[in-house]
Structures are given as C-alpha cells and as structure tokens.
Structure 1
Amino acid sequence: MKKIKVLHLLSSLNIGGREKVAIDIVNNLDREKFLPFLMSLRPKGTMQKKVKEDVKIITYNKSDKLDFGAYRRISNVLKENQIDILHTHNPGGFLYGFIGGKLAGVKTIVNTEHGFEYNINFKKRLAESFCRRFTTLTIAVSEDVKKRLGASGMIRVLHNGIIIDEKDYSSEKEKIRRSIGVMEDEVLIGCVARLAYVKNHRCLFRAFKIASDINPKLKLLIVGDGYLKENLLSLREELSLRNKIIFYGETDNVSKVLNALDIFALTSVYEGISITILEAMACGLPVVATKVGGNPDVIEDGKSGILAENGNEKEIAEAFLVLAKNKELRINFGCTGRKIVYERFNFKNTLQEIENIYLNSFK
C-alpha cells in the first residue's frame, strides 16, 4: 500500500496548544499508512525539538504583512514532496495553506480551528468563511468553535486529546516548591499560558489579590512568556504582590511543574479546548476557569472544578478560597478530572479519528 503523504501547516513552532496538537499527530501517525511532514510559516521555534527525527520539517520566514511569497513557497513544497493531504491549523495557517494547496493541486485539505480569533478584520473573516466552503473538512475543537464558524462548508467537532504523562513526579514536588519559595503549609495556585490578552492574566491577578488578602497562605505561579510580561510585572507591583506572584517563565516539562501545584487556574477571555486544562486535570488538579468557549465541555462545574463568569474577579477569588481551605474537595475534584481526561480526552482516541478522516478523504 502506498503511504499517504500528510503535511501539517502551522503559523509557528513556538510553545502553544495548537503546536502541541499538530506535533503529537505527526509524531504518532501510523508509519505503515502515512508519511508525515511539518511546515512552519516562521523560522525555528522552541517546539521544533519535540518533533521526531523521521518527520521532515520545512520552515519559511513569513512577513508580518500579506506575504504573496508564502503562497508560492507552500505550493512549491506541496508539489516537490507530492503531498496528498494538507492539514492546516488556524489561527494563522489556513488562508495561506488553502491558497497554496489549491495552487499545488492538492485535492484533500483539512483545517483544524483551535479557537476564535478576536483580532482579525471582517475581510479576513469573510475570506476564511468562503474558503471553508471548498475545504474537504473543517475540524472544530469544541461545539462553541463550530457554532462561531457558522454554516460554511463541512464542519465536524473533534475534541483535542492529550498524551497522558504517566511519570511519577511526586519526588520532585517539594523540590520545585522550595526552589520558588513556597512553604509546605502554603497553597500554590498555578496558571500555564502565554502572556497574551486572550488569557486575561490581569483578571487572574486581581482575583488572586482578593483571595490572598483573606487567606495569606496563597501563592500564584505564572508559567509562560509573552508580549504582556512587562505589563503584568507592573501590575504585580501595583497590587503589592511581589512576594505572592511568581513568574516561572517557559518550561518544556509542563507536567513536572503542574504536579507541584494545588490548584490550576485559567481565566481566559476565550478558549477552544485548552490543552493546559486537560494536562492539569490529568495530573489530578482541581481547575478554576472561566465559563467560556470549550471550557464547559471539559470541566464539570462542581465536580472536577469551578467555572466562573468571564471577568468576574470576585467569583474566581471565592473559588480559590473554597478550594484552598478544603484539601479533600481538591482531591475529589482532581480524581474526577483525571477520569474525564482518560475517558474523553485521551490522545489515542483523537489520533484514531484523525487517521480515519485521512483514510476516508483519500479514497
């Protein structure tokens, strides 16, 4: 049987949820049936080292403005490697990939919509809607994403899944906590996310301020980097939380850091299906998150975590206080969350669905 050549197209290989999803797919596709490729519209990124050696990686230095050269480059790559299926990942990769794919004569184009872009103009949104009508399949990672896309083209929901890290990090927990100045009797809340507007760290900081004024045993760990770092450092000073909020930076071992936490928090303005929420639940952590996007698809409110209204700092603070004072509740929520991930968001199931999509579309 001739192997089906599949190329995944990303806007970058920087640390992020959609990058992790794409890399997990190309790394684990059945090599008896598929030959995977990976292309990034930006030069080398941190996540590139996570890609297996047998996956061919192609990069391009795309301009921040409309880059007609990117269409030609994508088209040439697809032709030169005789790609059968192009799988793009939005935000960022779909329009360039769609046009490049059509120029190259690729018959099967699959696009995964990982979330909803707030910062794109009407013309681009209209162009994406038009192109979806001529795309083989659009995968929406949640029901909310599908609803926002509207009735343009063939769309189906397929939740993100994660490869569950089974390693025991219990021996590392206290070491990490001591290294960042967290005492044994303190409750450590953590957030793993890029420092960007959509993640709404400002709301998280203010909610934490309310909670920590009531319970001084709380500390907050911020894992990630981004363009809002200086802004958030200033907010930490403004709220007099220098000794309470710890900036950890980026890490290539999220599970290890998550296992040092007591509570996971994500106060985003919007989420598709958050990979870090799934990873936190797989580590047995209770989750406090905003009731936006795909979060209600993942978190059972009052059973595996607490969902607060978007931007409601008081609700988020109350959730922190409830969980901080009740270790048994944290454990119960964590056990339920772990079960949800194992049963509904296991990467093995996601990969099987992706492979079936490829095989069925290539018949």
Structure 2
Amino acid sequence: MKKILYIQASADWGGTEVSSFQLASHLDPNEFETGVLFHCTAGPVCEDYRKAGIPFWTVSFPRVLQALKIIRQFKPDIIQIYGLRTNVLWRPLLRLLGYRRLIGVNQGLTNQGEKPSRGRLVLDRMTHGWLQNYVVNSQQIAATLTEEGFDPTKLLMIYNGIPLNGFLKKSGTQNHPPVIVCVGNLRQVKGHTYLLDTFKILRARKVSFEAWIVGDGPLKSQLVSKTRDLQLESHVKFLGRVEAVKSVLQKADIFSSLPLSEGVPISMMEAMSCGLPIVASRVGGVPELVRDGTEGFLVPSKAVDSAAERLAVLLSDPGRRLKMGHAGRFRVESQFNLNTTVIEYENLYRNPAV
C-alpha cells in the first residue's frame, strides 16, 4: 500500500480542486491511500473529502511547522504538490528533509494572461529540479515550459478527465429562447466581462437568448453592476455557486466561456459531456479539447464581435447545436475520460521517475 499526500493551495471549488478530488477518490483503494493537506484556510471542497472518507488537514499559509508535523505523522511515500506558491515553498524544503518522491502539478501557467510572468517562471524553473516529475495537463503548458528551459525529462502530460457516469446527454428538447451557460469562478482571468460585452452585441442585434452565469468570486458585484449598466438584467441571470452543476448544464443549450488564460477546463468537459456545443476563447489548452467547427467555435481572446457572431449562428440553428453537442460528448468519452486519467496517475505512482 502506497501512501500519497496531496498538498494544495486552495480548498475552494475550481478546476484544480475538482480534478484533484476526482483523482483522489477514484484511485485503487487496494493499492493507494490518499490524504490531503490544504495549506490554506478551510473551504467548501473539504466537505467533499469528508463525505468520501479521505483524510484531510487545513493549515493556514505559511505555517510550516504545523504542516510538517502533519506530513511526518502521515508518512507519505509520494507527495504531490499543486499550485505555484505551495510548490515553490515545499519543493526545496521537503527534499532537504529527505522526501525524494515529489511530484509537482501545473494546471495553468498564469492568473492573468496567456504567458506567465517572468517572476513566476523564474521561481518555477529555479525549484522544479527538486521534483521527480512535473505533471502538466495540456500540451500547450508542456511546450511553453520546455521553451523556457525546464527539464523536458521531468515533464509529463496527463489530461484531466471527468467521470462520465455523472453526466448525461442533454435531451432533445430546446429552450425558447435558447440558454447560454457559463460556469467558472468570477475572477478576472475567466473573462466574464468580455462575455457580458458579447451579450450586449447579441441584444443590440435583437438575437433571442437567455444567459446563466454559474459561480462566485471577487468580481461578482462588479459583474452584476456591469450587467445592470448594459441593460442586460432581462437576459442574464447570476445563479451563484451551484453544487449540482450537471443539472444546470443539462437544461442549457450552449456553453460559452471567454477566458484570458486556461488549461484544459473541467467545466468545459462537463458541458460537452452533457451534449452542449462550445463557444470559447482560443487560449491555453482549450484547442486541445474543442476543435473549431467540430465541437464548437473558438475565437481570439477578447474578440467579442467574433464571439457574438458564433453564438448567433448556434442560437439560430438547433440542428447545428445538436450536431456539435454530440461530437463534444464523443470527444470527452474517447479522450477525456476520468478512467484514463486515473490509470496514468496510478502508473506514475508505481514509478514516479517515469
């Protein structure tokens, strides 16, 4: 039995937290025992670990001594670290303390734009040598890190996947007006302000639609205010954080997201598994998930006119929505299945130096 400890910088619900929880809860319990150290204050994801019976601890950053005590008591064989801040702190410290089987995870290059800041890259590059493996979740991240001088022998690309039995194909019924849904934390990098600008263009063109914004975050009041300023209150609804996201996705017709930067987003996979066509920014790992013209449409970052044009096409064509939605469901089933992700991580844990 190998003991694996995940160290995470956030206990809030986001793509990284969803993917790490799904991984921890689906590893073979006869071969692996997992625990999670949240080096942050407690958050909503903790309840999911509690329900799953996976041990976890919360230690406010940067209280290192208390965290070290927990690590020593758990006695992990492998430590997997998420987030730049926690990686930069724990990589050298754990190696100095004799922990050699360290795996870093990078699921997004930056919090602001398509390229990571020079400071973030320098810190990441300076400390990644202490890792045995550095897992990334997109080919785009792997290519960027290689170009920036990271050791390619340490890099390993493993796509995130989702449990398909938790999501069903959308029924053939159509909403009138059609519903556009966006799921994501309300932060600057997610580009909600550009999505609202896109909705303004659609309304000006008298395109019939309704939009649901699912999620919470620091920009909520600003986005609600902008919705009011753009006179979109009759079109846009803010649903807040929703536990049963799949039930919302199954009631929608189109998924749209215009992030400034992104890995390979879990929320987009979930939408595709429910048979929704996608309109999204062509950034990060998104093109590895959505092929332009097949599972949906991709537009340049911040290109609200292009996004409005593509959304208008789908809003007016139920047949195309269904065709692209079916293609998206098949793509997730074949390429982004959680079972495949789990198998690849289990193989890594059996030999972390792969």
TM-score (norm 1): 0.90
Question: Quick one: which of 276, 283, 286 aligns to 1:295?
Answer: 286
Q: Answer yes or no: is the 8 Å Cα contact 2:175–2:252 preserved in 1.
A: no
> How far 1:233 moved relative to its partner?
1.1
CA deviation profile, 1:281-303 (whole Å, cap 9, x unmatched): 00000000000000000001101
> How far 1:196 moved relative to its partner?
0.4
> How far 1:260 moved relative to its partner?
1.1
Question: Quick one: which of 12, 27, 39 aligns to 2:10?
Answer: 12
**2:79 is aligned with 1:83:** no
Change in CA separation of 1:168 and 1:128 when aligned onto 2, cut-off 3 Å = closer
Alignment-derived partner of residue 262 in structure 1: 253
CA deviation profile, 1:262-281 (whole Å, cap 9, x unmatched): 00001000111100010000
Alignment-derived partner of residue 60 in structure 2: 61
Change in CA separation of 1:169 and 1:339 when aligned onto 2, cut-off 3 Å = closer
TM-score (norm 2): 0.92
Question: Quick one: which of 160, 178, 190 aligns to 1:199?
Answer: 190
> How far 1:99 moved relative to its partner?
3.4
Change in CA separation of 1:168 and 1:159 when aligned onto 2, cut-off 3 Å = closer
Alignment-derived partner of residue 125 in structure 1: 121
Alignment-derived partner of residue 38 in structure 2: 40
Which segments of 5 or more consecutive residues in structure 1 lack a partner in the other structure? 175-182
Alignment-derived partner of residue 163 in structure 2: 163
Greater displacement, 88-97 / 251-260: 88-97
User: Which residue identity is paired with 2:180?
Assistant: I
Change in CA separation of 1:168 and 1:138 when aligned onto 2, cut-off 3 Å = closer
Which segments of 5 or more consecutive residues in structure 2 lack a partner in the other structure? none
CA distance in 1, matches of 2:40, 2:334: 35
Greater displacement, 289-298 / 214-223: 214-223
Alignment-derived partner of residue 142 in structure 1: 138
CA distance in 2, matches of 1:12, 1:312: 31
Q: Answer yes or no: is the 8 Å Cα contact 1:165–1:255 preserved in 2.
A: no
**Map of 1:178-327 to 2, 5 A cutoff?**
184-327=175-318
User: How many equivalent pairs are there?
Assistant: 346
Change in CA separation of 1:145 and 1:107 when aligned onto 2, cut-off 3 Å = same
> How far 1:26 moved relative to its partner?
1.1
User: Which residue identity is paired with 1:275?
Assistant: I
Q: Answer yes or no: is the 8 Å Cα contact 1:91–1:115 preserved in 2.
A: no
CA deviation profile, 1:227-283 (whole Å, cap 9, x unmatched): 111111111111111111100000111111111110000100011110001000000
Question: Quick one: which of 323, 346, 351 aligns to 1:355?
Answer: 346
CA distance in 1, matches of 2:305, 2:322: 23
Which structure is richer in relative contact order (CA contacts within 8 A, separation 6 or more)? 2
> How far 1:362 moved relative to its partner?
7.5
Identical columns (%): 26
Q: Answer yes or no: is the 8 Å Cα contact 2:7–2:79 preserved in 1.
A: yes
Alignment-derived partner of residue 24 in structure 1: 22
> How far 1:90 moved relative to its partner?
2.1
Change in CA separation of 1:184 and 1:287 when aligned onto 2, cut-off 3 Å = closer
Q: Answer yes or no: is the 8 Å Cα contact 2:133–2:353 preserved in 1.
A: no
